[in-house]
Amino acid sequence: MNNILEFKQSNNYKFVLKSFWIDWSTDKHGNIMKKQQPYIALVNTKNSTYIIHPLTNFILNWRWSYKSYNTKRKYTSNLINFLNFLLKNKHDLNIYNISDIDITTGNSFLNKYTFNQKKRNTIIDATRTLTYFYVWLDEQGLLNNVDTAFIQSKRQKDLHNNKSYYESFFNPILPKYEKPNKIHMLPIRYVPLFIEMALIYAHPIALGIYFQFFGGIRTGEVINIKRTEIKKRMDNLDFLIKLKENNLRTDLRDSSGGDYVKKNRKQIVFQINDWGTILQKEHINHYQKLDVNNTGALFINRDGKPMSRKSYDQYFYKLKNKFIDFLLKNGTLEDKTIAMDLKASNWGTHIGRGSFTNFIAEQIDNPAELMFLRNDSSMESSLPYLIGTNRIKEKVQNSVNNMQTNYLLTLIDRNNIDKR
């Protein structure tokens, strides 16, 4: 077992991250549900052959085996960086197998991150992965140069959930903390214009953007929606969307895993001025016929396949740039000031969920209503607050209607928008 990782070999090897899909379970109709799993591969760079490395067990069979693909992929990526660091520096570090590493080895790797100007949170995240990798190695009897007593001295009890965790074994040099220049919401008066411009510059995802701004749905959840999973509440025509992992793109073996539903649930999306219905009908009429494989996916790419997270992001960032440019060229002084702030800040598709949270947070009478509408708590425990959604929706709609500019969500080309 000590030779689980040999470092005496030539320089023609490197560790890489790969993934595969497994049959995970079946739904109530007997259909097979698949789940994506990451693994560590050791590649021969001369002939491109590779093997699944046994250290993959750290990811798949240990305490976070139940975690989402994204989480496991993050741990896998951090560990692969560490393993490649060992391969590259094996002579300087005097490392010949995995049992030769010690605490100094880990600190050397993490400080390399700092010297390469990695972000503070990136280093902290890598530190957490390395800490638990050392714990796992100790449990396997592979950590000869670190005392088990030292490992256990770092074990702490979380009083909130009665679970244990480990404090870091390492003390890397961390860059100075800098407040992230990130925007979490778009002012509500700009949301209709943003959606209208989506119809022009990001047509395949315009409906998805509506779902995000008026339902708080995450991007990975949006692209998992099937056409049959959208219903209307009869009392007010709000959407009630069934969100679950449909695994529509199992062909993307090395995807980032951004197409996952964080929590299977039914999610309300507000119907504002019939915009949702207009967008839904127009979207289905245009894209249903492009679903060449009859996957039932609501969002389809230009090749007729269910849309991936990467494609969705590409449309969004094109829209983002067009939106900022429009405000800079055609807006008031206030619009241009906000556009400059948007241009200098870091924001992406999650701004829809952040904006939705802000819309409803300003209108709620009870914090539990916010938890329900964001679906942060279970549906069962939040059902008493369902009756309050009509009142909140009306307040959000009034906020939109009170804007000075009347935006029309149609495909009519506005004269002052450059479509080039």
Instruction: Enumerate the domain spans of the chain.
Output: 2-166, 188-401
Unique residue bearing structure tokens 């449990």: 139
Note the pLDDT of residue 409: 43
Of 128 and 31, the structure prediction assigns the larger pLDDT to 128
Distance of CA 351 to the CA centre of its chain: 12
* 228 DSSP 8-state letter: G
Of 32 and 16, the structure prediction assigns the larger pLDDT to 16
- The DSSP bridge partners found for residue 268 are 240
Parallel, antiparallel, or unpaired: how do β-strands 50-52 and 155-158 relate?
Answer: unpaired
Note the pLDDT of residue 418: 47
Note the pLDDT of residue 417: 46
Alpha carbon distance 168, 98 (integer Å): 19
Q: What is the pLDDT of residues 231-249, one digit of tens each?
A: 987 666 889 999 988 888 8
Note the pLDDT of residue 354: 86
pLDDT at position 16 over 60: yes
Note the pLDDT of residue 212: 95
Of 61 and 322, the structure prediction assigns the larger pLDDT to 322
pLDDT at position 2 over 70: no
Across 10-19, 122-131, 151-160, which has the greatest mean pLDDT?
122-131
Alpha carbon distance 186, 214 (integer Å): 12
The residue count of the chain comes to: 420
Alpha carbon distance 155, 168 (integer Å): 9
> Model confidence at 181, in pLDDT bands (50, 70, 90)?
confident
What pTM, to 2 d.p., does this model score?
0.69
Which class for 313: exposed (0-12), middle (13-18), buried (19 or more C-beta within 10 A)? middle
Note the pLDDT of residue 26: 77
Q: What is the pLDDT of residues 284-321, one digit of tens each?
A: 999 999 998 999 999 999 999 999 999 999 999 999 99
pLDDT at position 154 over 90: yes
Which class for 245: exposed (0-12), middle (13-18), buried (19 or more C-beta within 10 A)? buried
CA-CA-CA-CA dihedral for 397, 401, 405, 406, to nearest 10? 90
Note the pLDDT of residue 384: 43
DSSP per position, 312-344: HHHHHHHHHHHHHHHHHHHS-HHHHHHHHHHHH
Name 376's Cβ contacts closer than 8 Å, sequence gap at least 6.
Answer: 370
> Model confidence at 109, in pLDDT bands (50, 70, 90)?
very high
Q: What is the pLDDT of residues 185-235, one digit of tens each?
A: 898 889 989 999 999 999 999 999 999 999 999 999 999 999 999 998 766
HSE toward the beta carbon, residue 388, CA cutoff 13 A: 16
pLDDT at position 61 over 50: yes
User: Which overall architecture, per CATH, does domain 188-401 show?
Assistant: Orthogonal Bundle (1.10)
Note the pLDDT of residue 371: 59
On average, the pLDDT of the chain sits at 82
Task: Give mean pLDDT, residues 135-156.
Answer: 93
Of 174 and 397, the structure prediction assigns the larger pLDDT to 174
Task: Give mean pLDDT, residues 350-359.
Answer: 86
pLDDT at position 324 over 50: yes
- Asked if residues 120 and 183 have their Cβ atoms less than 8 Å apart, the reply is no
pLDDT at position 274 over 60: yes
Of 355 and 146, the structure prediction assigns the larger pLDDT to 146
Note the pLDDT of residue 414: 45
> Model confidence at 11, in pLDDT bands (50, 70, 90)?
confident
Q: What is the pLDDT of residues 367-396, one digit of tens each?
A: 555 555 666 544 444 444 444 556 667 767
